C-alpha cells in the first residue's frame, strides 16, 4: 500500500474509529474511562471555533467592496435557504410515505428530567430574539453561534465602510493573521485526531448496546434515506452548474467526512472543511471564508431534515394527524432551528422538546430518539458539512472562483495562506495571492 495513503489523515482517523469500536465492545463498561481523552480532543478544537468563525466572517465581509459583495451574500443565502426548504420537503415526503413513528410502543412514563426540560424550552419569538446578543462577550463564552455571526457580519460591514473611508486596512490585516494562527493551531490539534476519535468511540461502544437501535430502525432509516437523497440532489446540482466531475468528490471530502461522522459536530469539523475547500476543492479563499462561516449555522441541511422527521415521528407515535398548517409551521420551525442552534453534540433533547411543545405533540417518544441520537447525529453532520462545501462550490462557480486545476489535481493545491484573498469585487475578480503547498 502506498505510504502516503497510509499516512492520510482520513485513513488514520478511520483506523482509530474502527479500533475504538472494537476495543469498546471488548472492554465493556471500563472503556468509559477513555471518554476524558476524547473530551479533551473535542475541547481543543472547540476552543478555537468562536475566534476562527469571527475572524473568517469579519475578514470576508470587511474585505469586500462593490456590487460583488452583494452578489456573494445573496447567492450564499439563496442557495442555503433553498436547500434548507428542499430538505424539509424531502423529510415531509419520506415521513408521510414510510410512517417511521407508526406502531411505536413505549414502556414507562416520560423521564422526569425531560419534563423539566420541557418547561424550559422557549417559544419561537424568544428564539428569534436570541439571534441578537446584548453582550457579545457572553455569547462568545457560551458559543452561541448565531448572535456571534450576526455581530461579525455587522462588524465586517462597519469595518468595510471604515476601510473605504480611510484606506486603513490594518485591522483587516491583523484579523487575517489571527485567522491563520488559529488554523495552524487546529492543524496541530488534528495530529492527535486518531487518538481522540479512538477514545470517543471506545467509550460509546462500551456503554451503548444494539438493542436500543433496533427499536428505532424506522426513524433512523427514514433519516438516512433522506440524507442520501438530499446529498444526491446536491451533487447533481453542483455537477450541472459547475461541470466538474462528481467522482472526485468522495476522495476530496474524505477527511472532513470522517471527522464529521466520528465527532458528530459541524463546529469541530469546520476548520477541516475550510482547509479542504481551499486546498483540495479549489474554492477561492474569500468565498470559503464567507460561505462556510455562514454555513456553520445556516447550512445545517441534515439538521433541517432530521428535525422535520422528528415532528412526524412524534405525531405518528401519538396517533396525531398533522394539519397542513402544522406541517408548514413545523417546516418553518425546523429551518429556523437550523439557524438558531449551536452546532455541537448534545442539543437534540431541547430541540425535540421545543418542537413537541410548540406543535402540541406528545413527548413520550423523545426518550427513544435521544437514545439513538448519536446515530442520527452522524447522519446530520455528514450532510451538514458536505452540503456546506457543495453550496460553496455553487457560490464560487457563479463568478469563476473555483480553481479547476486544483479540483482536477493538475497542480499542487495552495494551502490556506496567511496572505488571504485580496478582493476587488468592483470588477468581480478576486486576486488570490500565490501560494505553494508545503
Handedness of CA 343, 225, 96, 299 (dihedral sign): positive
Q: Comparing 31-40, 141-150, 175-184, which segment has the lowest mean pLDDT?
A: 141-150
- Top-ranked range on mean pLDDT: pick from 42-51, 374-383, 426-435: 374-383
Per DSSP bridges, beta strands 429-431 and 422-424 are antiparallel
Cell of 353: 422538546
* pLDDT tens digit sequence for 284-319: 888 888 888 888 767 789 889 999 999 998 888 878
User: Confidence class of residue 422 from pLDDT cuts 50, 70 and 90?
Assistant: very low
pLDDT of 68 reads 57
pLDDT higher than threshold 90 for residue 115:
no
Average predicted confidence (pLDDT) for the chain? 77
Q: Comparing 255-269, 300-314, 381-395, 416-430, which segment has the lowest mean pLDDT?
A: 416-430
Identify whether 381 is part of a domain: yes
pLDDT higher than threshold 80 for residue 275:
yes
Number of domains in the chain: 1
| HSE, side-chain direction, 13 A CA sphere, residue 117 | 18
pLDDT of 227 reads 94
User: Region 246-274: what's the mean pLDDT?
Assistant: 87
Cell of 262: 466520528
CATH number at residue 125: 1.10.3860.10
Identify whether 388 is part of a domain: yes
Range of the domain at 235: 7-408
Q: Is 408 helix (H, G, I), strand (E, B) or coil?
A: coil
Identify whether 68 is part of a domain: yes
The Cα–Cα gap between 82 and 287 comes to 18
φ and ψ of 109, to 5 deg? -90, -165
* pLDDT tens digit sequence for 67-111: 556 788 888 888 988 999 999 999 999 999 988 877 665 544 444
Identify whether 429 is part of a domain: no
Identify whether 356 is part of a domain: yes
* pLDDT tens digit sequence for 7-48: 666 677 778 877 887 888 788 788 888 888 888 877 787 777
Identify whether 37 is part of a domain: yes
pLDDT of 124 reads 57
| Angle, helix 324-340 to helix 348-359, in steps of 10 degrees | 150
pLDDT of 86 reads 94
Asked if residues 107 and 368 have their Cβ atoms less than 8 Å apart, the reply is no
Q: For residue 422, what are the β-bridge partners?
A: 431
Higher pLDDT, 15 or 276: 276
pLDDT higher than threshold 70 for residue 119:
no
pLDDT higher than threshold 50 for residue 430:
no
User: Region 219-237: what's the mean pLDDT?
Assistant: 93
Identify whether 264 is part of a domain: yes
Cell of 183: 488554523
pLDDT higher than threshold 80 for residue 342:
no
pLDDT of 83 reads 92
Higher pLDDT, 6 or 381: 381
pLDDT higher than threshold 50 for residue 425:
no
Per-residue burial over 95-108, b if 16 or more Cβ lie within 10 Å, else e, is beebebbeebeeee
Cell of 376: 442520527
Determine what percent of the chain is predicted with pLDDT higher than 70.
Answer: 74
Higher pLDDT, 388 or 35: 388
User: Confidence class of residue 343 from pLDDT cuts 50, 70 and 90?
Assistant: very low
Cα 337 to Cα 127, 142, 210, distances in angstroms: 8, 17, 30
pLDDT higher than threshold 80 for residue 240:
yes
Amino acid at each position: 500500500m502506498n505510504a502516503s495513503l497510509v499516512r492520510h489523515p482520513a485513513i488514520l482517523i478511520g483506523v482509530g474509529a474502527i479500533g475504538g469500536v472494537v476495543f469498546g465492545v471488548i472492554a465493556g463498561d471500563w472503556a468509559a474511562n477513555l471518554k476524558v481523552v476524547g473530551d479533551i480532543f473535542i475541547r481543543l478544537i472547540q476552543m478555537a471555533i468562536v475566534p476562527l468563525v469571527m475572524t473568517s466572517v469579519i475578514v470576508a465581509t470587511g474585505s469586500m467592496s462593490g456590487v460583488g459583495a452583494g452578489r456573494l451574500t445573496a447567492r450564499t443565502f439563496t442557495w442555503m435557504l433553498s436547500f434548507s426548504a428542499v430538505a424539509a420537503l424531502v423529510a415531509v415526503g419520506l415521513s408521510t410515505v414510510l410512517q417511521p413513528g407508526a406502531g411505536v410502543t413505549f414502556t414507562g412514563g416520560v423521564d422526569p428530567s425531560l419534563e423539566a426540560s420541557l418547561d424550559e424550552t422557549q417559544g419561537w419569538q424568544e428564539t428569534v430574539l436570541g439571534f441578537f446578543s446584548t453582550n457579545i462577550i457572553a455569547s462568545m463564552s457560551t458559543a452561541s453561534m448565531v448572535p456571534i455571526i450576526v455581530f461579525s457580519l455587522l462588524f465586517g460591514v462597519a469595518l468595510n465602510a471604515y476601510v473605504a473611508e480611510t484606506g486603513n486596512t490594518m485591522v483587516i490585516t491583523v484579523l487575517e493573521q489571527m485567522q491563520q494562527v488559529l488554523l495552524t493551531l487546529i492543524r496541530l490539534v488534528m495530529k492527535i485526531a486518531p487518538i481522540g476519535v479512538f477514545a470517543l468511540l471506545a467509550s460509546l461502544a462500551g456503554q451503548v448496546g444494539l438493542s436500543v437501535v433496533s427499536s428505532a430502525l424506522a426513524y433512523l432509516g427514514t433519516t438516512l434515506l433522506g440524507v442520501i437523497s438530499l446529498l444526491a440532489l446536491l451533487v447533481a446540482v453542483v455537477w450541472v452548474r459547475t461541470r466538474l466531475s462528481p467522482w472526485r468528490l468522495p476522495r476530496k471530502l474524505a477527511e472532513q467526512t470522517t471527522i464529521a461522522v466520528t465527532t458528530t459536530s459541524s463546529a469541530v469539523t469546520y476548520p477541516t472543511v475550510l482547509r479542504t475547500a481551499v486546498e483540495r476543492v479549489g474554492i477561492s479563499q474569500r468565498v470559503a471564508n464567507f460561505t462556510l462561516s455562514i454555513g456553520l449555522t445556516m447550512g445545517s441541511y441534515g439538521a433541517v431534515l432530521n428535525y422535520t422527521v422528528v415532528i412526524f415521528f412524534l405525531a405518528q407515535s401519538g396517533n396525531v394527524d398533522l394539519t397542513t398548517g402544522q406541517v408548514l409551521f413545523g417546516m418553518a420551525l425546523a429551518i429556523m432551528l437550523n439557524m438558531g442552534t449551536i452546532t455541537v453534540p448534545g442539543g437534540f433533547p431541547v430541540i425535540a422538546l421545543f418542537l413537541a411543545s410548540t406543535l402540541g405533540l406528545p413527548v413520550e417518544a423523545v426518550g427513544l430518539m435521544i437514545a439513538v441520537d448519536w446515530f442520527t447525529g452522524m447522519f446530520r453532520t455528514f450532510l451538514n458539512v458536505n452540503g456546506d462545501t457543495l453550496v460553496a462550490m455553487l457560490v464560487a462557480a457563479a463568478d469563476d472562483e473555483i480553481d479547476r486545476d486544483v479540483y482536477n489535481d493538475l497542480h499542487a493545491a495552495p494551502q490556506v495562506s496567511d496572505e488571504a484573498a485580496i478582493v476587488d469585487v468592483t470588477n468581480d475578480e478576486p486576486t488570490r495571492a500565490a501560494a505553494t503547498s508545503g
